[in-house]
Amino acid sequence: MYLKLLVNTERIRHVTLHPKQLEELGLRSGAHKEVRFGLRSALVQIEADKEVNERAIVLSEDIVNLLRIPLCCRYQLKMLNDVLAIGPFISFLTSPKNKTNQRYIHQLRDYLSHYDQIGGAVLAFALEGVNQRTMTIDGYLYNPQTQEWQHGTYPFPSVIFIRGYVSSQKWIDYFKRMLGKRAIFNDFYLDKWEMYNLLSHNEELRSYLPTTAIYKTPASIRRFLKKHTEAYLKPVDGTMGISVMKGALTKSGFTIRYRKDDQNKKHVFVRFPMATKFLQRSLQSQKYIIQQAIPLITYHKKLIDFRLIVVKNGSGKWEYMGMIARYGAQNSVVSNISAGGYAEKGEDALQKALFLTEEETKAQAEKMADLAIRIADYLDATGLHCGNMGIDLGVEPNGRIWIIEIQHYSPAHSIALDANQQEMYRRILLNNMLYMKRLSGFSEGGKPC
């Protein structure tokens, strides 16, 4: 049940509730209790009043001001570790800079379509808006009455979902000290090489990984190609298929293919040493990995791979949300939508490209979904706290499954909309919100994780 917050200007350090509310909370009138909102708390006297609406909580004005509780939101009350908590108070950390945050909050609007199932205060902020001295945040709070973001200064929340790129480990460590380690999720970043090494330690998952090495010099590519014939060169921090190249040793010599300015490019060098300057020039600005090229399924000469989305739900468990197929532009070396591709429901692509029956398609999709959950569970077992993940898998014409990449930091779930899967998109965002609510202790029968 959500409660409306009312202000009493005549009392000091008081919380007044209907007797039924006190009974449900296990409180007695006249008792003194700590009341908390986010990280702020104060000692108050609890009072019962039959005249108070059962769906209201009356706070003395000094407590509202001290705890900086926004009056526009609808709240729940929970006894958490003998503290009367008002919440949930959850947040999105979007970026380092305030200007970026102002742009980003519009992208968060879809999350707020689930506000009635979450309640409480929802904050969006950037690191630049955090004041450690006063323990306040200059950010944007969602106002459910106007359905708009409201700029202001607010206390620290109970939970932080890192939804944008935050490179400062000092800030992450600071928030963990203040809120607790389990109150922050998607709070780590592993590049492609680090993720490969982490997954390689799991014997079961290792068999799904293409052989991968770190690029050092053009000679390291040549050595790799003598074993694997074709290989991808990928920036370890790259996204959206940018700067990805595909190299191959053929009868014609060394061939390198890539996509630039929305066009497929190809260079052929009769002898490998002739490619040295090109590779040095092309690969000098970033750190790269060399990865075994998998003969992935295609459709009308369009490369296909699959994004499987797994998120934690209101029970704190990983839930498989669905699979989206990504088709690359014709003859492209990457399948990214941003590089001229398009998206489709994953099962439809499997059935078309592999010529499967409905039962065979279902069986293949279940294998892929099972692998995605195993990857997520393994990352949990390493001690990482991730609740939001996109797992990119590839499939050979014979049905063999490969792990291509793990999007663990801030995967764009709008890919579901690209494939016209609105219901999948809605469920993904709802589970993100329910998981935050759980971490704050406000799920049904919940305690902070």
117-to-14, 120, 168, 183, 430 alpha-carbon distances in Å: 28, 10, 33, 20, 9
Tokens of 97: 């800079």
The pLDDT tens digits for 297-348 are: 999 888 899 999 999 999 999 999 999 999 987 756 655 555 567 899 999 9
What mean pLDDT is predicted for residues 199-228?
A: 91
Higher pLDDT, 8 or 218: 8
Cα–Cα distance, 140 to 398 (Å, whole number): 51
Predicted confidence at residue 283, as pLDDT, reads: 79
The pLDDT tens digits for 354-390 are: 999 999 999 999 999 999 999 999 999 999 999 999 9
**Is 143 a residue whose pLDDT tops 60?**
yes
Q: Which long-range contacts (CB under 8 A, 24 or more apart) does 191-196 make?
A: 191/236, 191/237, 191/287, 192/234, 192/235, 192/236, 192/237, 192/238, 192/289, 192/405, 193/236, 193/287, 193/289, 194/236, 195/405, 195/406, 195/408, 196/289
The pLDDT tens digits for 386-425 are: 999 999 999 999 999 999 999 988 888 999 999 999 999 9
How sure is the predictor about 123, in pLDDT bands with cuts at 50, 70 and 90? very high
- Domains assigned to the chain: 3-86 (2.40.40.20), 89-185 (3.40.50), 201-207+294-444 (3.30.470.20), 211-293 (3.30.1490.20)
Predicted confidence at residue 103, as pLDDT, reads: 80
281 burial level (CB within 10 Å; 0-12, 13-18, 19+): exposed
**Is 148 a residue whose pLDDT tops 60?**
yes
What mean pLDDT is predicted for residues 73-83?
A: 95
How sure is the predictor about 431, in pLDDT bands with cuts at 50, 70 and 90? very high
**Is 349 a residue whose pLDDT tops 70?**
yes
What mean pLDDT is predicted for residues 182-196?
A: 91
Q: What percent of the chain has pLDDT over 70?
A: 95
